[in-house]
Amino acid sequence: MQEKKGSSEPSENISKKGYKTDHYDKYRLSSREKIYCAAVWAAMSLLLGRLFFHSFIAALPVFCALPLIQKYYAGSKKEKRLDSFSVQFCDAMSAYAAAISSGYSAENAVNEAIKETERAYGRESDMVIELMIIKRRLTVGETIENALSELSERSGSEEIMEMAEVFSQAKRSGGSLPKILRHTVQALERKQRLKEEIKTIITAKRLEHRIMCIMPLVILLYVNLAGAEFIAPLYDGLRGKVIMGAALGIYLFAVALGEKLVRIRV
């Protein structure tokens, strides 16, 4: 969801009470993103129609899969937003723990975390807005663990839920909060580094899959240009169209299956 430029607390994202209203585990495409999806899929449909049937009209049934493409694109954008939010949260908690260790109060430590996060990710980043809301909740007497618990429910983040539990356990046990926070943040940073390593491997596999998806189209295009007479029977008559239709169906199924296999949530 896009925020207005120049506003640190966009009204469409924050309710009148100051609480954020959107959920990070959901993503709604903007009009511009929907148009982008439609344009890209229309071009792809025309290409597939031309390669498999020598007809642009055949692109119409393929284009009907647009809602599925938009759903996939929205899921991809949601994952990217969650990944970015997870990294921002880790950095924000690191700044918060450092401030607490320096003797700041909970509210002032949040202010320090806001400054550091804003410096790293910008004033309109999701984490800066969330920290501002946490600060508001602290000023009206709410505890930081309650604020983090509510945020974890909207984001679906295990890291945020674990951090809320750390605050709760530290208060109940009467332990040293700065020391507990420091160890927790270090564990969070190690987990984040491991995630990045796994994501690097997955990205490499995803690139391999995309190349494998392109190769059949390149080969079919090459055969059409270099030896059209050899595959002419596949484009003439009902039998040829059925064969090419089946080939297109198998190709699209293989692409969808491959995307599902390499789309692993870390």
Q: Is 7 inside a domain boundary?
A: no
> pLDDT for 60-72, tens place per residue?
999 999 999 999 9
Answer yes or no: is 20 within a domain.
no
Q: Give a yes or no: residue 97 inside a domain.
A: yes
Region 202-219: mean pLDDT is 93
The total number of structural domains in the chain stands at: 1
Q: Is residue 266 very low, low, confident or very high in pLDDT (cuts 50, 70, 90)?
A: low
> Does residue 175 have a pLDDT over 80?
no
In a domain, residue 25? The reply is no
Single out the residue of 189, 153, 147 nearest to residue 168, CA to CA.
Answer: 147
Determine the average pLDDT of the residues in 150-175: 81
CA distance 218 to 188: 45
Asked if the structure places residue 9 within a domain, the reply is no
Residue 10, both tokens: 């966009």
133-162 mean pLDDT: 85
HSE, side-chain direction, 13 A CA sphere, residue 143: 12
Q: What percent of the chain has pLDDT over 90?
A: 42
1 pLDDT more than 80: no
The pLDDT value recorded for residue 15 is 43
| Enclosing domain of residue 163 | 31-262
Q: How far is CA 236 from CA 53, 54, 98, 111, 241, in A?
A: 9, 10, 72, 71, 7
In a domain, 91, yes or no: yes
Lowest mean pLDDT of 4-8, 76-80, 109-113, name the range: 4-8
Whether 106 is covered by a domain: the verdict is yes
- Average pLDDT over the chain reads 85
Answer whether residue 252 is part of any domain: yes
Question: For 76-100, how does the pLDDT look when each residue is reduced to its tens digit (9 = 90+)?
Answer: 999 888 889 989 999 999 999 999 8
Q: What is the pLDDT of residue 139?
A: 87
Angle between helices 31-53 and 237-262 (to 10 degrees): 140
Whole-model pTM above 0.85? no
Q: Which of 145-149, 168-172, 175-179 has the highest mean pLDDT?
A: 145-149
What's the pLDDT at 22?
A: 62
Q: 149 and 68 in contact (C-beta within 8 Å)?
A: no
Structure tokens at 72: 């996939």
**Residue % of the chain over a pLDDT of 70:** 91
